[in-house]
Amino acid sequence: MTAKELQALVDAEPFQPFRIHMASGRTFEIRHPEMIKVGQHYATVFVYAQQDQRFYEHIEILGLLLVESVSHPGTPVISSES
């Protein structure tokens, strides 16, 4: 997945929550555009604490080359190979 493709999902009006599927099998739920910052080769995902959604618990750095696909709830998976 390219940075432009991922940033387009973040910038969508209206924003639609999406799920990032990594080649490792891990997934990341992006429920709000402030949960992710996109760089040229990496994305930083802010993982929020379960108890209080005002505070993030930790961050995850995702290599964009390792993003396998992206999906929206209730829609088909968007593969990085298409």
> Residue-wise pLDDT tens for the chain (82 aa)?
999 999 999 999 999 999 999 999 999 999 999 999 999 999 999 998 777 777 888 999 999 999 999 998 876 555 655 4
- Position 20 in a domain: yes
H helix intervals, the chain: 3-11
pTM (two decimals): 0.83
- Position 82 in a domain: no
Q: How many domains does the chain have?
A: 1
- Position 28 in a domain: yes
Q: Which residues contact 30 (CB under 8 A, 6 or more apart)?
A: 9, 10, 17, 18, 19, 20, 36, 45
Predicted confidence at residue 56, as pLDDT, reads: 84
Domain range enclosing 43: 3-67
- Position 12 in a domain: yes
The sign one gets for the Cα dihedral 60, 11, 54, 71 is negative
- Position 14 in a domain: yes
- Position 50 in a domain: yes
- Position 35 in a domain: yes
- Position 76 in a domain: no
Report the distance separating Cα 45 and Cα 43, nearest Å. 6
